[in-house]
Chains A and B, each alone.
Chain A
Amino acid sequence: MGAQSPPTGHDIELAAKAASGDRQAYGELVRRHGSAVRGLLRRLGADSATADDLAQDAFITGFEQVAEFRGEGTFAGWIKKIAARLYLKKVKREARLIFSDTIEPAEELGGRDASGDAASRIDLDDALKALSRGERLCVSLCYGADWSHAEAAEALNLPIGTVKSHVKRGLDKLRAKLARPEEGARREAHG
């Protein structure tokens, strides 16, 4: 895409440029949101190689459909929805979408956050490992990809009540997991 300086501007402006065939503008969107999409796919349960392949496919699909993005939501939310749909399609195709309550080992996320809130993010990734596959998928879709319960139910071909109960159980587990370090710190402060 050349050695020119990266395009600047709001995501919506860049998406509009990309819709008219500007690949440099789209490259900037990839640079801005690539890690978020890769991270989401890992949190949904994809292994790192699959997550990266799907993230690339999501961005290619996004470029083909970018004219449909009209800025109603964020570009990040839009591209994450595409990525999540691709992931669900893949796991359905491979018949790996099993909603058991067994906890499967999850892969470590690839990188570490440079921001000051890195610890809490790592906590989230660790906490997600305590969830069953169904819980993890439902929680990540609803809170990571901004899907409604109804959207998740339709995509997963599950009754909405099942999705809600997966989310509820997942949230309970996450709350317990994420609260633990705070409680530990409080105990240390009092002790």
Chain B
Amino acid sequence: MAESDFEAQLTRLFAEPPSFPDAPLFNAEVAAKLDRGWAMRRLFIGGAGTVAGLFGAFQILSTRFADEIAQLSRNGGHNLEAEYSVGVAKINSVLTTPASAEAVWLAAALAVVALAFVVTRLVEEL
């Protein structure tokens, strides 16, 4: 047999897949691994979304409070009790003025959306 004929025959023989009696089991195992990997990926994305949402909410809130605290320290000279009273009053004002209330509500809404996202994911996975 010529070299090229033999090589063609060999390529053909290699191309013929053997049949395995446990092929359905093998396919099912690969499918299960793919599903597991997919579920992990979705959980990871869900988790990352939650963390990002909460981080954003805290950022909005902490920025507002940090500004207020900085303002308090600039207005030094008062005694601690007076500072405390003023601080409480300022925090109350932050929560009651329309713009600040808007930020608080936005942060709360973000947190609720993030929580709902996590719950949805968990329900889907379970």
Q: Chain B 31-54, CB within 8 Å of chain A: the 1/0 string?
A: 101110110000000000000000
Assess whether A175 is in contact with B33, with CB atoms less than 8 Å apart.
no
Assess whether B35 is in contact with A38, with CB atoms less than 8 Å apart.
no
Assess whether B23 is in contact with A35, with CB atoms less than 8 Å apart.
yes
* Number of chain B interface residues as a range: 20 to 34
Asked if A112 meets B19 with Cβ closer than 8 Å, knowing A1-B31, A59-B30, the reply is yes
Question: Which of A34, A120, A121 is in CB contact (< 8 Å) with B23?
Answer: A34
B16 proximal to A (CB < 8 A): yes
Question: Which of B13, B34, B35, B38 is in CB contact (< 8 Å) with A124?
Answer: B13
In angstroms, how far is the closest chain B Cβ from the Cβ of A34? 5
Assess whether A110 is in contact with B31, with CB atoms less than 8 Å apart.
no
CB-CB nearest in chain B for A139: B10
In angstroms, how far is the closest chain B Cβ from the Cβ of A136? 12
Residues in A with CB closer than 8 Å to B92 are: none
Count of A residues near B, CB < 8 Å?
42
Asked if A23 meets B38 with Cβ closer than 8 Å, knowing A56-B26, A56-B30, A175-B6, the reply is yes
Q: When chains A and B are docked, how far (Å) is the Cα of A40 from the Cα of B19? A: 12
Interface residues of A in 7-61 (CB under 8 A from B): 23, 26-27, 30-31, 33-36, 38-40, 43, 52, 55-56, 59-60
Residues in A with CB closer than 8 Å to B14 are: 40, 43, 124, 140, 143-144
In angstroms, how far is the closest chain B Cβ from the Cβ of A167? 10
Assess whether A174 is in contact with B10, with CB atoms less than 8 Å apart.
yes
Assess whether B35 is in contact with A1, with CB atoms less than 8 Å apart.
yes
A-B pairs, 5 with minimum CB distance: A36-B17, A111-B20, A144-B14, A35-B17, A124-B13
Please list the residues of chain A having a beta carbon within 8 angstroms of any beta carbon in chain B: 1, 23, 26-27, 30-31, 33-36, 38-40, 43, 52, 55-56, 59-60, 63, 109-115, 117, 120-121, 123-125, 139-140, 143-144, 171, 174-175, 178-179
